[in-house]
Structure 1
Amino acid sequence: MTSLIVLAAEAEQKSAEVTDWGPRIAWVVGLVLFVVLVYWLMRQGWKWRGTLQSDLPELPESPQSPGEAKLRSSGRYHGSTTAGQWLDRIVAHGLGTRSRAELTLTDQGLDVVRPGAGDFFVPAAQLREARLDKGIAGKVLAEGGLLVVTWEHGGKPIDSGFRFDRAAEHTAWVEAINSMTDSSTKKTAVTTEGTAR
């Protein structure tokens, strides 16, 4: 008889714990509201950053006939920042949106096609350099795991980060872009020299 009373008391205790839903529901609702608030604040910050960068002109579109491809690769676009400031993300004109990307390098420039996000084109004259790096605005990889292309748009130097499906291709891109920028720098120097005479 005593054991029956003990079992009944234990069952009553367990039942009381399970049916005490009020504080649990309040805690879950509070947590959901906190997450929504944090998300909303992040969204507002993103919009504000876009407003601050509204002076950046529209991105150039790819030319109708870009010429023969020197290099072509696919991978991920990880975002763009102000050159030399790897945490100063640029969000204007969709440059802050991460996406898949297909890159094509021609004599006319760098064509970036992004399914699900805005494509953009960097004319050869606006390319400044390319290098291997380890991070850009919210994405950190192993040393040399990221291709960073520096270019200029609207008088603003920009770093854009890419990681190809085959990371071994990064080096060829660095060499090709840097050889293009070196040759355009030499052409500019020769033209300036000829004008000065």
Structure 2
Amino acid sequence: MTPVILLAAEKESAEVTDWAARVGWVVGLALFVALVYWLMREGWKWRGTLQGDLPELHSTPEEPGPAKLRMSGRYHGSTTAGQWLDRIVAHGLGTRSRAELTLTDAGLDVVRPGAGDFFVPADALRGARLDKGIAGKVLTEGGLFVVTWAHGERLIDSGFRSDHAAEHHEWVEAVNSMSNTIITTEGAER
């Protein structure tokens, strides 16, 4: 009997959780996540500052004329033409959102609930194409409707995805007929 008592006396109970260490790790992790978020936000603002030479976006004219085409879907952002990873964030062009597109003889009207609307005059349209990606969004081949347009001294690619992807081909033809320019997948004019 004595050996059993001795063995039981030698065993130790489980170690108690060190709550101070756990709280320290949680607070440290939260501070790290906050720092990363703050750095991302500062990088976004810095990119907008670098793109400060981009003129203000056009607003929709009083009488844009009758609609040739309408599309509802998503706006996925804008980049420098031919540079699908060079996102443009100035004037809210980097904000992804829902979008309602209307093509008229006056140009392309982009209405974005929760983000700034903009208008691309017909003489600024340089063409359209189907593509698979733009900064921050990659889809299947031809899943993205990309409009190339001139604004100030820059050529800009803006990516849209319709709620009904079958509409993309009709939009590409209509925009290209207005601009008389065909844009290749790489962003070069033909």
Q: TM-score when scaled to structure 2?
A: 0.88
- Counterpart of 1:95 in structure 2 is 93
3-state SS of paired residue (2:102): strand
C-alpha separation in 2, matches of 1:88 and 1:20: 48
Q: Give the aligned residue type for 1:170.
A: H
How much has 1:169 moved relative to structure 2? 0.7
Any gaps of 5 or more consecutive residues in structure 2?
182-190
How much has 1:20 moved relative to structure 2? 1.8
> Which AA in structure 2 matches 1:33?
L
Aligned to 2:139: 141
How many angstroms does 1:69 deviate by? 0.5
Question: For 2:127 and 2:55, how far apart are their aligned partners in 1?
Answer: 21
Distance in 2 (alpha carbons) for counterparts of 1:28 and 1:128? 52
Greater per-residue helix proportion: 1
Q: Following superposition, which runs of at least 4 residues in structure 1 exceed 3 angstroms of deviation?
A: none
SS of equivalent to 2:126: strand
Of the three residues 42, 59, 62, the one matched with 1:61 is 59
Matched residue, 1:188: none
| Residue of structure 1 equivalent to 2:174 | 176
CA distance in 2, matches of 1:141, 1:182: 27
- Of 69, 83, 86, the match for 2:84: 86
Task: Return 5+ residue gaps in structure 1 as ranges.
Answer: 184-197
SS of structure 2 residue aligned to 1:62: coil
For 1:88 and 1:126, the matched residues in 2 are separated by 20
Taking structure 1 as the reference length, the TM-score comes to 0.85
Number of aligned positions between the proteins: 178
C-alpha separation between the residues in 2 aligned to 1:147 and 1:27?
A: 46
Distance, in Å, in 2 between the alignment partners of 1:123 and 1:112 is 11
Identity %: 76
Q: Distance in 2 between matches of 1:72 and 1:146?
A: 16
